Amino acid sequence: MKTAAIVGGGVIGGGWAARFLLNGWNVRVFDPDPEAKRKIGEVLDNARASLPGLYDMAMPDEGTLTYCDTLAETVKGAKWVQESVPERLELKHKVFAEIQAHLDPEAVIGSSTSGFKPSELQEGAKDPTQILVTHPFNPVYLLPLIELVPGDNHDPRAVAWAKTVLTEIGMFPLEVRKEIDAHIADRFLEAVWREALWLIKDGIATTEEIDEAIRMGFGMRWAQMGLFETYRIAGGEAGMRHFIEQFGPCLSWPWTKLMDVPELTDELIDQIADQSDAQSGMYTIRELERHRDANLVGMMRTLKARDWGAGALLNTHDKVMNQTGGIAERLADVSDLSKPVKTVERAVPIDWTDYNGHMNEARYLQAFGDATDRLMLIVGCTPDYIAEGGSYFTAETHIRHIDEVHAGAKIRVETQVLAGAGKKMHLFHAMYEGDRLLATGEHMLIHVSLETRKASDPAPSVADPLARLATAHADLPRPEGAGAAVGVR
């Protein structure tokens, strides 16, 4: 097990702790705040309910979380240190000096700094090349972007290790080739923020109106395509050149106050804080975080279904986790044919839960549908086979809802083949959380020709593995509830 040391466990350090822990790393935390344990515990609750549901595979088992009293015991033997103390250069220097007195030379110190350059952080360090900027985005446990800024004085092995670690925990390290204050993304964020402050100060818009202007429009465009791909489309068929020719000149019109910052007088701060209270004061911060997380999970899962942007990254991480987690893809990978086959192992995504606070009934069918798809793959009904015109259609389904399950819970489906001969494939899925039976799904499928849309016999490449599995499962006891009809128990 690898150990990550989290130095500073506030908003960002808490998010880092969750990201490492849920990806199977042991985590040690150092933060002098007496409330740190409670705060990190609450962040972890939110992370557990949201992050695992981004994937269609089970995440690794959680590592162990330890709160330490000294920096020395926090960093000793750690492979990664993530510094997230307040944004004050002299404090960061002091913390680096103490960390480096106890840290293994091959470990890397990533700094969460939003604005300092690596050359500034490295000033006076025992080994400057051990310190890199790894700038995350809140919530760190959900958003994949990390601005990785090595600076001029870096060791390529440290940069390579940083990329390995960050990728392993599902993040997207974007290497910033030249150091600059506030890296890439915060420069945009600050530009937008400055404009927003002027709009409030000049009485043009309230905090709420500014947020609506973002979230009802361009915010959604940015989330899935960024700036340039969006503007390429905005240029119409004539594309990017036409776009620049048409709208570029506006940049020198007096639309913007970009480099001016309104003076942050008490009056302006009160105005903004009061507007913000009126807009969102009905929620606690944790409630707002849960709304944010559920919205992000929903958006990212949509991108995932389209294998696009941040969603494509999730699909890649699923494949990596399946190499170590183990759901079979072929009959030859099934370790014991005499037992029901594991066909799904995943967490319940937060957007699968409903107004009753548990997994919605439709999602049971989704999970069982995924289990059926996996069993089809295992017996040879692969994408190539389907492309050649053979597949299965489901003719009948009976689901029994036996127990509740909640967001973030790890569920598993085991599938027994009740019959698998001729055109028929009769499956019995059982869904569990640990040993607790949650639901069963009985499904009758018919093999079809996708050309005639009529029942047809499967080719031997499917019929033979299916018959082998059905024969092996024939010795299993018939599952309780198989063949049952809906009725009063």
Q: Which residues, including other chains, have CB under 8 Å from residue 281's CB and lie 6 or more apart?
A: none
Comparing CB distances to ligand NAI, the nearer of 172 and 428 is 172
Task: Report helix angle 36-50 to 11-22, nearest 10.
Answer: 50
DSSP H or E segment with residue 65: strand 65-67
Q: Which residue has the tokens 């700038």?
A: 135
Does residue 16 belong to the site contacting ligand L46V6VHR (CB under 6 A)?
Answer: no
Could you tell me if 416 and 473 are in contact, meaning their C-beta atoms sit under 8 angstroms apart? yes
Among 23, 25, 31, 293, interactor with ligand NAI by CB under 6 A: 31
Q: How far is the CB of 121 from ligand NAI (least distance, A)?
A: 10
* Residue that has been written with the tokens 């705040």 in this structure: 33
Q: CB of 263: closest distance to ligand L46V6VHR in angstroms?
A: 19
Q: Quick one: CA dihedral 189, 194, 198, 200, positive or negative?
A: positive
What span, in angstroms and rounded, lies between the C-alpha atoms of 161 and 158? 5
Binding annotation: 8-13
Which residue number, 262 or 481, has a Cβ lying nearer to ligand L46V6VHR? Answer: 262
Rule CB under 6 A: which of 379-408 touch ligand NAI? none
- Minimum Å distance from CB 420 to ligand L46V6VHR? 52
The single-letter code of the amino acid at 440 is T
Please say whether the beta carbons of 350 and 297 come within 8 A. Answer: yes
Would you count residue 114 as binding ligand L46V6VHR (CB under 6 A)?
yes
Sites for ligand NAI among residues 287-346 (CB under 6 A): none
CB closer to ligand NAI out of 134 and 343: 134
CB of 88 or CB of 478, closer to ligand NAI: 88
Smallest separation, CB 175 to ligand L46V6VHR (Å): 17
Least Å from the CB of residue 290 to ligand L46V6VHR? 17
Place of tokens 């690794």: 60
Owner of token pair 């760190």: 140
CA pair distance 43, 46, nearest whole angstrom: 5
Contact 315, 258 (CB under 8 A): no
Distance separating the N- and C-terminal Cα atoms of the chain = 48
Using CB atoms within 10 A of its CB, is residue 250 exposed (0-12), middle (13-18) or buried (19+)?
A: exposed
Give the residue from 435, 436, 438, 398 showing the smallest Cα distance to 418.
398
- Give the residue with the Cβ less far from ligand NAI, 84 or 391: 84
Binding-residue total with ligand L46V6VHR (CB under 6 A): 5
390-401 and 26-30 beta bridge pairing: unpaired
Q: What is the CA radius of gyration of the chain?
A: 27
Note whether 11 binds ligand NAI by CB under 6 A: yes
Contacts with ligand L46V6VHR, 147-186, as mask; x by CB under 6 A: ---------------------------------------x
Binding mask 76-115 for ligand NAI (x = CB under 6 A): --------xxxx-------x----------------xxx-
Report CA-CA distances (Å) from 460 to 379, 392, 406, 423, 457.
10, 14, 41, 12, 9
Nearest by Cα to 372 from 425, 439, 436: 425
Q: Which does 186 bind (CB under 5 to 8 A by kind): ligand L46V6VHR, ligand NAI, none?
A: ligand L46V6VHR
The answer to whether residue 289 forms part of the interface with ligand L46V6VHR (CB under 6 A) is: no
Taking the complex as a whole, how short is the minimal distance between the CB of residue 189 and ligand L46V6VHR, in angstroms? 6
Asked whether the CA dihedral 202, 206, 212, 214 is positive or negative, the reply is: positive
Could you tell which of ligand NAI, ligand L46V6VHR, none binds residue 32, using a CB distance below 5 to 8 A set by kind? ligand NAI
Closest distance between ligand L46V6VHR and the C-beta of residue 278, in Å?
Answer: 22
| Beta strands 145-149; 172-175: pairing state | parallel
> What is the total count of residues that contact ligand NAI (CB under 6 A)?
23
Binding residue for ligand L46V6VHR (CB under 6 A) from 64, 70, 138, 164? 138
- Six-digit token string for 97: 């000096």
CB of residue 83 vs ligand NAI: minimum separation in angstroms?
Answer: 8
Q: Which stretch binds ligand NAI (CB under 6 A): 131-139, 329-337, 379-387, 456-464?
A: 131-139
- Residue 139 interacts with ligand NAI (CB under 6 A): yes or no: no
List 55, 96, 116, 137, residue binding ligand L46V6VHR (CB under 6 A): 137
Residue 284, token pair as written in the block:
């606690």
For 26, 165, 241, 324, the CA distances from 60, given in Å and listed in that order, are 12, 15, 47, 9
* The one among 89, 97, 101, 189 contacting ligand L46V6VHR by CB under 6 A: 189
Q: Which residues bind ligand NAI (CB under 6 A)?
A: 7-13, 30-33, 36, 84-87, 95, 112-114, 135-136, 138
Q: Which residues bind ligand L46V6VHR (CB under 6 A)?
A: 114, 137-138, 186, 189
